[in-house]
Amino acid sequence: MVITFEDCVGMSGLTKEEIDAIATHEHLPEIVASELGSYLVATEAGQGEIRRMIEDDIADAKAHGQHERTALLKLVLCHFLQDHVAARTVNS
């Protein structure tokens, strides 16, 4: 039996876009980022860490004039905060 990246996304509790943000922030392959994300999303502190990663990615994209990426990451952050309420209240 082979487990695909899509299987890992489905088991992680995160979207592909959220995993992409983790991968970008941590300079990891997506499959490794899905594992890290799955681990982090299990706790309030970890959810806050994912939020900070996405916020850092937004700041980086904005600083480099990547307007489309900035907009996409803002949507990713909004979706993440809708699905993971604890991330809203964890201090930055």
CA 20-25-27 angle, to 5 degrees, is: 85
User: Encoding tokens for residue 23?
Assistant: 């991968």
pLDDT, residue 8, reads: 82
pLDDT of residue 90: 66
Output DSSP code: residue 51: H
pLDDT band per the 50, 70, 90 thresholds, residue 21: very high
Q: Is the pLDDT of residue 9 over 90?
A: no
| Report field, pTM of the whole predicted structure over 0.85 | yes
| pLDDT, tens digit (0-9, with 9 covering 90-100), for 25-79 | 999 999 999 999 999 999 999 999 999 999 999 999 999 999 999 999 999 999 9
